[in-house]
Structure 1
Amino acid sequence: MIQIQSLSHRYPKAAVPALDNVSLDIAQGVCVGLLGHNGAGKTTLMSLLAGLQEVRQGEILFHGKPMAEMSRAERQKIGLVPQDFAFYPQLSVWDNLLFFASLYNMRDKGRLKDLLEKTDLTAHKNKAAKHLSGGLKRRLNFAVGLINAPELVFLDEITVGIDPQSRRFILDSVAELTQQGVTVVYTSHYLSEIEQLCSQIALLQQGRLVYSGGLSDLLESQTASVRFITEPVLPSETLAALGAQPIDRNGMMETFQTASEVYAALQKSGATIRYFQQGHGSLEAFYLDFLRKEAA
């Protein structure tokens, strides 16, 4: 669906580019988790893909067509739910939906009523948006981003600062979108959300794409190391024999010897094994390790 070819972007007076020669393909109906620390280029990439900034170097193709050649109707099949609230706080929930629907020349009020029901905002229909709770504001933000029934939607940190019930509701709604064939590009600092929702991962580092592919492939490919915690901590000579080094302040050790050899040595030591894992059991474990290695 989306082909990103040699995409670069530098802001005026910036010493380094925000994006540097990024190429990436995104298939129809896939949920892609976009990872990267603050300043890695995530927001810039999403802004370019959503058409909020002009592509100056490289190319973005939607269904094989350059963005610059897309018609208004084709562009309106792209949705964006930003981290910041993108509605008018002084307007009611219903008036906000009516206003944004008018921007798409959409007169189907049935669609808006469905969005109210799906986001559980019907009871708050006539309430000014500024008087909604944080979780309900997130739901309204989500509803506004889906008014145009997008084929492609960008979701940028949409669960920040909300209650668990609203977070669960939004995550279930995102999963439903992908089941309906909508292509989703999702960013979140809650890596468990990306692991739950996304089958594909794109990892940006200092404006460069350093990994793109399946989530399962990413975790399975990172199997070289073995991590363990024992109680008490093993003597230094035993750790040296295992080639183990501490990687945090909680007693976590890491070695690149085979898991069977390490486990046998730990059992022989007589220490209690509190934690033992080969590779990364979660996206969060992988990403924290990735950041640690980058910092080193």
Structure 2
Amino acid sequence: MTQVVLACEGLSKRFGDRVAVAELSFTIAEGETYGLLGPNGAGKTTAISMIVGIMRPDAGVVRVDGMVHSVRNTAVKAVIGYVPQELGCYPELSARENLRFFARLYGLRGRSRVEEVLRVVGLEARADEPVSGFSGGMARRLNIGIGLLNHPRLLVLDEPTAGVDPQSRNAILDSVGRLAGEGVAVLYTTHYLEEAERLCDRVGILDEGRLRAEGTKEELTGLVGEPDLESVFLQLTGRELRD
């Protein structure tokens, strides 16, 4: 039986009078890619911040690999790879130097994992060049590489292709697809329908902090009798995905 790597149970968060996330519950199994699909402001980043342990939920529980997660739980954080929207690399350093720096923060020694990650994200040929000279897509791929250094059981990607060219987007999507094939549980947020359809085994439609529906593409389109995910989203939320 496939093991559940991530289980979110009733996650809720509000900021003053505004409800950012309301009673969010879903699971992700090993080797599964789960997409949180929603427009900007839907609550995706707030949900991710609670899942990776950056932000404390007002209510609900996050379990990763069977362990209850919290902002102070370093044991759980050690099995999570987090790739935020913002680039986390240092532009004055090379790709290899960035990876070595973050590997040391993880307590990793030796060069083998750094070299392996460079191959995974396709930066071997440019590994010793300063990141300041990289294209946006290359910097995004390095950002993903940093999230892979610790051999994560759960990889969380928050709109990792935002602002990159089509060729770089394809390279990123190919890398993510291979990781899921190796047994990594992947949580992928996006507001690009084509990415969700290409990558995700299941999709959760998030709007105004609430999970309106979830399932495979076939399950979601069958649920409301619509031919595609864009039409499903419009019918469930009353608005376009990219508004």
TM above 0.5: yes
Deviation at 1:201, TM superposition (A): 1.2
1:284 to 230, 234, 237: 230
> Deviations 1:126-176 (Å, cap 9, x if unpaired)?
211111111211111111111111110111111122222221111111111
Deviation at 1:294, TM superposition (A): 8.7
Q: Which sections of structure 2, spanning at least 5 residues, go unmatched?
A: none
Aligned partners of 1:190 and 1:54: how far apart in 2? 28
Counterpart code for 1:74: V
CA RMSD of aligned residues (A): 2.1
Q: Which sections of structure 1, spanning at least 5 residues, go unmatched?
A: 224-278
> Deviations 1:3-39 (Å, cap 9, x if unpaired)?
222211112xx32221112222222221111012222
2:67 to 65, 68, 73: 65
The two structures have a TM-score, normalised by structure 2, of 0.90
Aligned partners of 1:201 and 1:39: how far apart in 2? 18
| Greater Cα radius of gyration, structure 1 or 2 | 1
2:7 aligns with 3
2:131 aligns with 129
Counterpart code for 1:285: S
> Deviations 1:176-213 (Å, cap 9, x if unpaired)?
11111100111122111111110111112211121122
1:117 aligns with 119
* Residue aligned with 1:159, SS: coil
State how many pairs are aligned: 237
1:94 aligns with 96
Moved more, 71-80 or 142-151: 71-80
Contact 2:84 2:160 in 1 (8 A): yes
Contact 2:83 2:143 in 1 (8 A): yes
1:208 aligns with 210
Aligned partners of 1:19 and 1:100: how far apart in 2? 31
Contact 2:234 2:240 in 1 (8 A): no
Deviation at 1:293, TM superposition (A): 5.9
Contact 1:6 1:58 in 2 (8 A): yes
Contact 2:36 2:205 in 1 (8 A): yes
Aligned partners of 1:164 and 1:62: how far apart in 2? 33
Identical positions, percent = 40
Q: Which has the higher contact order (CA 8 A, sep 6+)?
A: 2
